[in-house]
Amino acid sequence: MSNQTIKLFSPLIVLLILWFIPAPEGLSQEGWHFLAIFFAVVVGLIIEPVPAALVGFAGVSLVALLGLVGNSKESITWALSGFSNSVIWLIFAAFMFALGYKKTGLGKRVSLIMIKYMGKSSLGLGYAVAFSDLILSPFMPSNTARSAGTIYPVASNIPLIFDSTPEHEPRKLGAYISWVAIATTCVTSSMFLTALAPNLLAVDLINQGTGNMISWGAWASIMLPLMIPLFLLTPWLVYVIYPPTQKKSPEAPAWAAEELKKLGKITPKELLMAGLAILALSLWIFSKELGIDSTTTAISVVSIMVLANVITWDDVISNKAAFNVLIWFASLVAMAAGLKKVGVLTWIGASTETYLSGLSPTMLIISMLVLFFVLHYFFASTTAHTTALMPIFLAIAVNLMTPEQLVPFSILLAGSLGVMGIITPYATGPSPIWYGAGYISQGKWWALGAIFGALYLVAIIIGGLIFI
């Protein structure tokens, strides 16, 4: 039997095994069958026998077909509910922002400018790569598009200037640049709500599970104080823990200056893209005070981008990645909402309350944050991790935490999704790209992932002690 066949049948086997097990006490048969399909979907998201969006879409279709969430009308209303979710359209619109950066060349220009002015030393190059990611991160919810798609094509040329290749002196510069790039994109992914698509998915699950809608500003008020020190420390820590043998790099700024000459003067479209990005960020930050929904801001800016020909309508309708994520996340939002609708989350909350109620509030919070983080070792997708665990952890928190504790805890739980991407070579979207560059061996990646993962987890725990 081929590996692909095994992967294809694994979710089905999980579904069939669970389906015929009697429902546990306190949960209806419909709820148990829904949970069986949900687990099968999670397995499918992890091993991906077919595209992830199709896994979620098939799961939603099967639940609706079997009528597990109600009659025919209730089933189709539930199945399509994710497509009317404003957060899903915010993610879709933000993918268009990323396209604007790429098509105008603004993202590449930002990276080259950073290298030109900060790249005279290896440490400076590390900070140039880091700040390139930081500048792009509030507007690009795909860290894969940001780090692997925008920064990697520029940064991957730098080690070659110094004859540092995977086969020849990788530690000279290539390994350092690679680890700084993946480590800092994990930090920026947690820093801003709009820097990672699963952040937005998590915020919607928080709204469904607790009734609390997390704004851009509320996220920033907790995550920025934790992530800014981590961001500033990361390139230096990599320089200390995993230092490059090449310490000076005067050739890099000269190369960047030459590349900028080839790009030519900044174009009106680049300036317009920068202005629209700043406008969107300002409206996101002050959305509560202005009474403008974040998604309204996003789709309005995308409309202006198309009308101003920063991107074309053909660019929008042919963006497979954006539509793939739209269908994928809309399906997962519906599945997560179904867990509550059929009583699964209520059952989980009640079942775990007995075991955890003896813990002190501080120990409960720390234990849940650590467990949520460490469990990512078993996931090759941050989206799958979010879908599988976020509703369960929130169901437990609702039963055991006060309303005052619930909001900061929810933000920290969701905020850890970015930084947990550092722990393995498959933990987040850009990881396979930087790992695949070949500068860092698998063993060294796991070791560095454990070191930086522990450091980043400590920052999340400190956030729990300060803000909750």
Find out whether 157 and 255 touch, Cβ atoms under 8 Å.
Answer: yes
pLDDT at 1: 62
pLDDT tens for the 468 residues of the chain, in order: 677 788 888 899 999 999 999 999 889 999 999 999 999 998 888 888 888 899 999 999 999 999 999 899 999 999 999 899 888 898 888 889 888 888 998 889 999 999 999 989 999 999 999 999 999 999 888 888 889 888 999 999 989 998 999 999 999 999 999 999 999 999 999 999 999 999 999 999 999 999 999 999 999 999 999 999 999 999 999 999 999 999 998 899 999 999 999 999 999 999 999 999 899 888 888 887 888 888 899 899 999 999 999 999 999 999 998 899 899 889 988 988 898 889 888 888 888 877 777 788 889 999 999 999 999 998 878 988 999 899 999 999 998 888 899 999 999 999 999 999 999 998 898 998 999 899 999 899 999 999 999 999 999 999 999 988
- Among 290, 288, 312, CA closest to 302: 312
CB-count burial class (<10 Å; 0-12, 13-18, 19+) for 455: middle
Q: What is the pLDDT of residues 194-225, one digit of tens each?
A: 999 999 999 999 999 999 999 999 999 999 99
The residues facing 121 across adjacent strands are 248
Three-class SS state of 155: helix
Distances (CA, A) of 92 to 97, 295, 456: 9, 10, 29
Half-sphere exposure of 207 (CA within 13 A, CB side): 13
Helix axes 320-341, 344-356, angle to 10 degrees: 70
What DSSP string describes 53-94?
HHHHHHHHHHHHHHTTTSSHHHHHHHHTGGGG-HHHHHHHHH
Find out whether 176 and 252 touch, Cβ atoms under 8 Å.
Answer: no
Retrieve residue 52's tokens. Answer: 């992830």
Helix axes 382-400, 403-419, angle to 10 degrees: 160
The pTM is what?
0.88
- Among 151, 176, 180, 150, CA closest to 162: 176
Three-class SS state of 308: coil
The residues facing 248 across adjacent strands are 121
pLDDT at 307: 96
